[in-house]
Amino acid sequence: MTTPTHSSLSSDRPLGVAAIGYAFMGKAHSNAWRNVASFFRVPAFEQKVLVGRDAAQVAEAAAKYGWAESATDWRSVIERDDIHIVDICAPGWMHAEIAVAALEAGKHVLVEKPLANTIAEAEAMTAAAAAARAKGVQSMIGFNYRRVPALALARELIAEGRLGTVRHVRAAYLQDWLSDAGSPMSWRLRKESAGSGALGDIASHAIDQIQFLTGQSVVEASGVLKTFVAQRPGPNGIEDVTVDDAAWATFWLTGDMGASVEASRVAIGQKNSLKIEVYGTAGSLTFDLENLNELNFLDATAPVREQGFRRILVNEPEHPYLEAWWPQGHIIGWEHTFTHQIRDFLLAIESGEAPSPTFEEGLQVQRVLAAIEESANNRSTITAVEHKTLLVEGA
């Protein structure tokens, strides 16, 4: 079996890509693989195979999404010599088994968030990633909102000291697709397959953003979880919902910083709303995913009579990722974050440098999720979080 190390890129052989999963995330990732080379300079690759459990459905998806072929057995796919990258878009309960097997087979691995369903699984994945990295095999977790140009710009401004010392951050990620008590059961509502509900599904994005933007790590967490609809109709009758519908948490971070997160999948009227506020000693930033091309910045060093939030339209060639897209002022969308993610992953493979977020960073988020769940279950006010300090370059 050929191990795809950095040196293998010197050949004329394109990198072979396999994606596992063809539903929501599989479609989003496939769109990115199909388009990335049209806008960015990346090493040559081929969309080799799309993997799923239903042979007919995955074959249809593969033809639609630009994959050369389809398969139903991921194990046989990762054994192939023509597969160098494995993109895992399967449900969370499958992440650990597939990722560890792929890394041990010498394949570069991209996996959707959250990293896993449990701390033990996340630790096993992180250990496998570290061992593989020593052999030139890269891995990355897909927190795609890091690739929103406005949020990438926010990180740059914070690192440059434009906000002074950050004091606290607020993040709220709200959806309403489970507001109707009659909405049917799915794998996302069972703890054994999903790990958690709104907590792992969308609060994980908010937690990653807090740590990504500030370069600091959560060290203490306090949380509350709530399941508003305890039972839902399933294929075999009424089933118990075993994950949360909503989550609330407060944090203390390194850098003497506080933060709060709210996440809900039953907030009627909120379709996919992620709002982030960052407050420092010299300024503030606010962001709303529903206006993802905009960042609002307040410069508190200006005279008081001139202060106020100003809107930055993040569409200039000087802004992160935007040099590859349309003329200034022409907005981009949610799907572009996945294109940026694939671009960054491919360039990391080419350079031999570890891409971010690493599995270690994904494990840090997993530990925060576990601390929130422990706090909620025990009705405790503070749960310590094992952490690795994450410092923004230039901060």
Q: What is the pLDDT of residue 385?
A: 84
Question: In this structure, how many other beta carbons lie within 10 angstroms of the beta carbon of residue 350?
Answer: 15
Residue 51 β-bridge partners: 20, 71
Q: How confident is the model at residue 380 (pLDDT cuts 50, 70, 90)?
A: confident
- The helix (run of H) or strand (run of E) holding residue 128 is helix 119-133
**Which has the closest alpha carbon to 3: 80, 67, 113, 88?**
80
Quick check: 339 pLDDT over 90? yes
Contacts of 13 (CB under 8 A, 6+ apart): none
Radius of gyration, alpha carbons of the chain: 21
Quick check: 67 pLDDT over 50? yes
Q: How confident is the model at residue 386 (pLDDT cuts 50, 70, 90)?
A: confident
CA distances from 306 to 132, 154, 281, 298, 303 (A): 53, 21, 17, 10, 5
d(CA 219, CA 200): 18
In terms of phi and psi (left: phi > 0; alpha: psi -120 to 50; beta: otherwise), the region of 50 is beta
Q: How confident is the model at residue 318 (pLDDT cuts 50, 70, 90)?
A: very high
d(CA 131, CA 387): 20
pTM for this structure?
0.93
Q: Kindly state the tokens that stand for 13.
A: 């052989």
Quick check: 367 pLDDT over 90? yes
Q: What is the pLDDT of residue 238?
A: 96
Q: Give the three-state DSSP class for 233.
A: strand
Q: What is the pLDDT of residue 195?
A: 93
DSSP state of 394: T
| Residues 250-266 pLDDT 10s | 999 999 999 999 999 99
Q: What is the pLDDT of residue 1?
A: 42
d(CA 11, CA 2): 13
Q: Kindly state the tokens that stand for 24.
A: 């929501």
Q: What is the pLDDT of residue 382?
A: 66
Ordered by where they begin, the domains of the chain are: 6-137 (3.40.50.720), 148-384 (3.30.360.10)
Contacts of 134 (CB under 8 A, 6+ apart): none
DSSP state of 137: -
Q: Could you give the count of Cα atoms lying within 13 Å of 261 in the half-sphere of its Cβ?
A: 31
Q: What is the pLDDT of residue 388?
A: 67
| Residues 297-309 pLDDT 10s | 999 999 999 999 9
Q: What is the pLDDT of residue 268?
A: 98
- Asked whether 138 and 108 are in contact (CB, 8 A), the reply is yes
Average pLDDT for 190-213 = 96
d(CA 297, CA 313): 11
Question: In this structure, how many other beta carbons lie within 10 angstroms of the beta carbon of residue 182?
Answer: 7
Beta strands in 227-338 (DSSP E): 231-234, 237-240, 246-253, 257-264, 273-280, 283-288, 294-299, 310-313
Q: Name which residue leads in pLDDT, 1 or 172.
A: 172
Q: Kindly state the tokens that stand for 89.
A: 């878009």
Q: How confident is the model at residue 390 (pLDDT cuts 50, 70, 90)?
A: low
Q: What is the pLDDT of residue 6?
A: 42
DSSP 284-303: EEEEEGGGTTEEEEEETTS-
% of the chain exceeding 90 in pLDDT: 92
Average pLDDT for 22-50 = 98
Q: What is the pLDDT of residue 379?
A: 84
DSSP state of 263: E
DSSP state of 247: E
Residue type, 135: K
Average pLDDT for 68-95 = 97
Average pLDDT for 353-369 = 96
d(CA 190, CA 176): 18
**Which has the closest alpha carbon to 26: 7, 46, 50, 43?**
50
The pairing of strands 231-234 and 218-226 is: unpaired
- Asked if the bond preceding 114 is cis, omega within 30° of 0, the reply is yes
Quick check: 313 pLDDT over 60? yes
| Residues 146-163 pLDDT 10s | 999 999 999 999 999 999
Quick check: 9 pLDDT over 50? no
CA distances from 275 to 12, 147, 159 (A): 45, 16, 20
